[in-house]
């Protein structure tokens, strides 16, 4: 047997955990990344990572509950078996990270400390100070360095993945990539390729993500034939610090510790915030949601802040949208003790002390739930078959996707502290499946050279063409800015079909424009100009998936909110009429699910995505409505419960069906 190799593209939490698991299984790995893997975007994660634990278990929690919360939080848009498997693995993932030396916060007795995050009743979240992502990433980076020192892993850092290589039968047999220093383009034959290239926030210009999160790698797989799922689901975090270069996250814990969100009641009030009397302040979250106040769920807080600035014109800054997040009523000592780390970020980047002045914050694009479509093989309990080569495989055999760049785990809305989990879980879990895939296939190293040379030739031609295109006249940085503005305006918090239609046609035109970019740098040494321009061009296919999905999905679900197609509150006050209304509401809900409880799955057709809706595997948990903030929620809940019970009775009397694989 010619020696087998696997290529892992991306060294965030997902890519590193896959690399170390494969190395443990004795497979040599080439690990390719835009940046030294230790600098991957995963370092930015602050809050933590979820799992059921001994303490929550005794309070009634279970893996099943974690699974249920994740599905419910995601508005039922996930195929359930992979999510179930993840929830059941979560405690093992934390145990492993603990053994690898992660400096998790500790209880006085020396156990891992936990905090509570959104979307659950239990304290499931393990954390390491305010830098959980960094600490997890470093532990994995260290293990991979250990395998690198032993010779099993070879790193290619400052390399740009340009696309998968397919053989004549359509199987992925390697990839083409470019050295960002010498600009050399070469092929990497591999028996399987794993893309773990993270999110695509840069399509929105500025977001809470790192500059590496262009989505270009996923787009290149998409353009090579891999399907892209649920692109329209983009999570917008309610509180970020607007900056000229980046929107930096202001953690939810600021509100958790008593932070209050407000604007002056009078539009364009230019007085300094502290001189505005209480009676002239509008604490809009507290007034509108008396029960939850400032701690309404993420999507609600985001919509309200957006609305107060955009539609009610109450932004606190005349030139840009933002509201106050105020901590100044809390004592300095208490703030330092509980929120030190995150307040320092504000101070460092705004040059203003948030203990003295209210912070100015606004929602920001934060996470991509959608991504490359991936397969799975379910077992009879509704989890996954371990070692199945189908798990995490894209629609191109031999090409795998894990981490934020897949579409698998978070449905319409990701719960806090679940992403780090999905990254590490999927990275560890696919190892044995890939080994089995390799065993059943001819080694790529034995394929004719021409397969690889052809692929390199295509990329070299693209590169040369870009460098020699001096007459095009378009500036890639300006096009990027414009793309970001369009996407931010049309496809974030609130979505309207006319705006989306308009944005879609603009974006397709701009994709043409981006092909006419002329570069200020036409050299062949560390040419960041050309690397960026390629990434920009490849943002368009994904941007089009996002817009098309948003346009065709005429409903509201999770992060995707269309006021024109939202389920209304109940209006009657008379109990019988209200009950009847609730019945109708439930009928409408069922009807809507028949249409839209589906993944949007795009295929690239050379110049635009073709979108189809695909059924979702809800074999374990029947969908139920998320009723937050709706008038009449209790009645709807009551009706829903009665119906569910009736269905259950019906099912119990019917002959049992075997649950097969999806």
Partner 1 sequence: MIASGPEADQKRRPSKINVRVLRQDGPGLPPYWERHQVDYEPDMNVISVLQKIAAQAKTSEGKSVTPVAWDCGCLEEVCGSCTMVINGRVRQSCSALVDRLFEDNPEEIELQPMTKFPVVRDLVIDRSRLFHSLKRVQAWVPVDGYYDMGAGPRISREAQEQNYPLSQCMSCGCCLEACPQFNKVELQRNPGESDEDFTKRKEAAYESEFIGAHAISQAMLFNSHPVAKSLEKERMETITSTGGIQACGNAQNCVAVCPKEIPLTTSIARAGRAATVYAFKKIFDR
**Contacts with partner 1 in 546-605 (CB under 8 A)?**
none
Q: Give the footprint of ligand FAD on residues 209-268 (CB under 6 A).
A: 209, 212-213, 216-217, 249
Count of residues interacting with ligand FAD (CB under 6 A):
46
Task: Fill in the per-residue mask, 44 to 83: x = in contact with ligand FAD (CB under 6 A), - = not in contact.
Answer: xxxxxx----------------------------------
CB contact burial 439-455 (16+ within 10 A = b; e otherwise): eebebbeebeeebbeeb
Residue 195 interacts, among ligand FAD, partner 1, none and using kind-specific CB cut-offs from 5 to 8 Å, with none
Using CA atoms, how far apart are residues 542 and 546, in angstroms rounded to an integer?
6
* 237 contacts: CB under 8 Å, gap ≥ 6: 208, 249, 298, 302, 363, 364, 365, 366, 367
* Least separation in angstroms between CB 259 and partner 1: 19
| Cα distance between residue 59 and residue 47, in whole Å | 23
349-388 positions binding ligand FAD, by CB under 6 A: 366-367
Residue 211 burial (10 A CB sphere; 0-12, 13-18, 19+):
middle
The smaller minimum CB distance to ligand FAD, of residues 401 and 503, is found at: 401
Output the smallest distance, CB 389 to partner 1, in A: 19
Q: Could you say whether residue 239 binds partner 1 (CB under 8 A)?
A: no
> Which range binds partner 1 by CB under 8 A, 217-225, 326-334, 361-369, 581-589?
361-369
Alpha carbon distance 547, 231 (integer Å):
8
Token readout for 587 is: 């009928």
Query: Residue 417 binds what, of partner 1, ligand FAD, none (CB under 5 to 8 Å, by partner type)?
Result: ligand FAD
Say which entry of ligand FAD, partner 1, none residue 167 contacts (CB below 5 to 8 A, set by partner kind).
Answer: none
Instruction: Considering only residues 9 through 28, tell me which ones interact with partner 1, judged by CB under 8 A.
Output: 20-21, 24
Residue with smallest beta-carbon separation from ligand FAD: 12
HEC profile of 52-115: CCHHHHHCCCCHHHHHHHHHHHCCCCCCHHHHHHHHHHHHHHHHHHHHCCCCCCECCCCCECEE
Residue from 4, 5, 7, 11 touching ligand FAD (CB under 6 A): that is 11
Indicate which single residue of 152, 190, 364, 545 sits in contact with partner 1 (rule: CB under 8 A). Answer: 364
Strand 598-604 vs strand 228-229: parallel, antiparallel, or unpaired? antiparallel
Coil, helix or strand at residue 176 = strand
Report 303-322 residues binding partner 1 (CB under 8 A).
Answer: 317-321
Supply the minimum distance, in Å, between the C-beta of residue 386 and partner 1: 12
What is the C-alpha R_g of the chain?
Answer: 25
The item of ligand FAD, partner 1, none sharing an interface with residue 412, based on CB under 5 to 8 Å by kind, is none
Q: What number of CA atoms fall less than 13 Å from residue 619's CA on the CB side?
A: 20
* Residues belonging to the chain: 662
* Least spacing, CB of residue 182 vs ligand FAD, in Å: 16
Q: Does 267 bind partner 1 (CB under 8 A)?
A: no
Q: Please name which of 171, 154, 147 lies closest in space to residue 451, comparing C-alpha atoms.
A: 171
**Site string (144-183) toward partner 1, x via CB under 8 A:** -xx-xx-------------------------------x--
Percent helix, strand and coil across the chain, each to the nearest 5 = 45, 15, 40
Burial of 627 (0-12, 13-18, 19+ CB in 10 A): middle
The answer to whether the CB of 517 falls within 8 A of the CB of 475 is: yes
Minimum CB distance to ligand FAD smaller for 128 or for 611? 128
- Among ligand FAD, partner 1, none, residue 134 binds (CB under 5-8 Å by kind): partner 1
Among residues 47 and 264, whose Cβ is nearest to ligand FAD? 47
What b/e readout covers 548-577, taking b as 16+ CB neighbours within 10 angstroms? bbbbebebbbbbbbbeebeeeebeeeeeee
Kindly report the backbone phi and psi dihedral angles of residue 338, in degrees, each rounded to the nearest multiple of 5, phi listed first.
-95, -30
**According to CB under 8 A, which one of 51, 132, 187, 210 is a site residue for partner 1?**
210
In the complex with partner 1, the residue whose CB is nearer, 224 or 530, is: 530
Q: How far is CA 164 from the centre of its chain?
A: 22
Q: Is 606 exposed, middle or buried (0-12, 13-18, 19+ CB in 10 A)?
A: exposed
**Bridge-based pairing state of the strands 371-372 and 228-229:** antiparallel
Query: Which listed residue (298, 553, 557, 578) is catalytic?
Result: 298
Quick one: 102 or 249, whose CB is closer to ligand FAD?
Answer: 249
Token readout for 398 is: 């031999």
Q: Which of residues 21-50 bind ligand FAD (CB under 6 A)?
A: 32-35, 37, 40-42, 44-49
Residue 418 touches which of partner 1, ligand FAD, none (Cβ within 5-8 Å per kind): ligand FAD
The contact pattern for ligand FAD, residues 107-146, with x = CB under 6 A and - = no contact, is -------------------------xx-------------
- Phi and psi of 574, rounded to 5°? -70, 125
- Please report, as residue ranges, which positions from 480 to 519 form the binding site for partner 1 (by CB under 8 A): 485, 488-489, 492
Which does residue 334 touch among partner 1, ligand FAD, none (CB within 5 to 8 A, set by kind)? none
Does 5 sit near partner 1 (CB under 8 A)?
A: no
Which residues in the 392-421 window bind ligand FAD by CB under 6 A?
Answer: 403-405, 417-420
**Whether residue 553 lies in the annotated active site:** no
Binding residues (CB under 6 A) for ligand FAD: these are 9-15, 32-35, 37, 40-42, 44-49, 132-133, 160-161, 196-199, 208-209, 212-213, 216-217, 249, 366-367, 403-405, 417-420, 423
Q: Which residues are identified as catalytic?
A: 298
């Amino acid at each position: 047997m010619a020696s087998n190799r696997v290529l892992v593209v991306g060294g965030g939490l997902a890519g590193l955990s896959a690399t170390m698991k494969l190395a443990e299984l004795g497979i040599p790995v080439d690990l390719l990344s835009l940046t030294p893997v230790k600098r991957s975007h995963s370092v930015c994660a602050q809050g933590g990572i979820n799992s059921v634990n001994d303490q929550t278990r005794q309070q009634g929690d279970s893996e099943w509950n974690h699974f249920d919360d994740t599905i419910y939080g995601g508005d039922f848009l996930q195929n359930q078996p992979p999510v179930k498997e993840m929830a059941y693995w979560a405690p093992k993932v934390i145990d492993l990270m603990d053994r690898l030396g992660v400096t998790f916060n500790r209880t006085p007795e020396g156990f891992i400390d936990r905090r509570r995050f959104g979307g659950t009743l239990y304290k499931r979240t393990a954390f390491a100070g305010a830098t959980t992502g960094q600490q997890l990433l470093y532990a994995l980076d260290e293990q991979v360095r250990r395998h690198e020192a032993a010779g099993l892993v070879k790193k290619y850092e400052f390399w740009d993945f340009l696309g998968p290589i397919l053989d004549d039968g359509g199987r992925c047999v390697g990839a083409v990539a470019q050295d960002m220093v010498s600009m050399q383009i070469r092929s990497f034959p591999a028996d399987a390729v794993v893309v773990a290239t993270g999110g695509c926030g840069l399509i929105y210009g500025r977001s809470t993500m790192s500059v590496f999160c262009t989505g270009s790698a996923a787009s290149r797989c998409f353009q090579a034939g891999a399907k892209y799922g649920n692109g329209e689901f983009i999570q917008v975090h309610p509180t970020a610090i607007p900056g000229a270069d980046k929107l930096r996250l202001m953690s939810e814990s600021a509100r958790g510790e008593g932070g209050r969100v407000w604007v002056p009641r009078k539009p364009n009030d230019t007085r300094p915030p502290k001189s505005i009397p209480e009676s002239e302040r509008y604490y809009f979250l507290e007034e509108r949601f008396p029960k939850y106040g400032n701690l309404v769920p993420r999507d609600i807080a985001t919509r309200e802040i957006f609305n107060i600035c955009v539609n009610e014109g109450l932004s606190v800054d005349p030139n840009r949208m933002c509201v106050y997040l105020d901590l100044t009523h809390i004592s300095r000592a208490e703030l330092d003790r509980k929120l030190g780390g995150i307040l320092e970020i504000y101070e460092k980047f705004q040059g203003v002390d948030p203990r003295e002045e209210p912070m100015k914050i606004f929602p920001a694009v934060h996470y991509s739930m959608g991504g490359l479509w991936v397969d799975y093989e379910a077992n009879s309990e509704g989890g996954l078959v371990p070692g199945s080569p189908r798990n995490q495989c894209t629609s191109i055999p031999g090409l795998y996707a894990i981490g934020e760049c897949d579409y698998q785990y978070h449905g319409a809305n990701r719960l806090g502290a679940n992403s780090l989990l999905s990254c590490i879980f999927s990275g560890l879990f696919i190892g044995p499946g890939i080994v089995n895939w390799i065993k059943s296939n001819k080694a790529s190293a034995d394929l004719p050279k021409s397969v690889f040379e052809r692929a390199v030739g295509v990329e070299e031609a693209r590169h040369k063409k870009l460098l020699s295109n001096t007459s095009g006249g378009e500036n890639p940085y300006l096009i990027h800015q414009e793309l970001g503005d369009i996407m931010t305006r049309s496809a974030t918090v609130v979505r309207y079909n006319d705006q989306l239609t308009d944005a879609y046609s603009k974006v397709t035109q701009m994709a043409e424009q981006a092909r006419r970019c002329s570069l200020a740098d036409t050299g062949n040494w560390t040419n960041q100009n050309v690397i960026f321009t390629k990434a920009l061009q490849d943002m368009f296919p994904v941007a089009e998936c996002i817009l098309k999905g948003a346009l065709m999905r005429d409903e509201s679900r999770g992060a995707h909110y269309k006021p024109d197609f939202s389920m209304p509150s109940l209006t009657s006050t008379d109990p019988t009429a209200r009950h009847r209304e609730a019945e109708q509401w439930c009928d409408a809900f069922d009807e809507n699910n028949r249409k839209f409880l589906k993944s949007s799955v795009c295929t690239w057709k050379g110049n635009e995505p073709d979108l189809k809706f695909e059924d979702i595997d809800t074999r374990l948990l029947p969908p139920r409505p998320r009723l937050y903030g709706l008038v009449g929620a209790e009645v709807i809940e009551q009706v829903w419960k009665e119906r569910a019970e009736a269905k259950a009775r019906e099912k119990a009397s019917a002959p049992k069906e075997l649950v097969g694989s999806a």
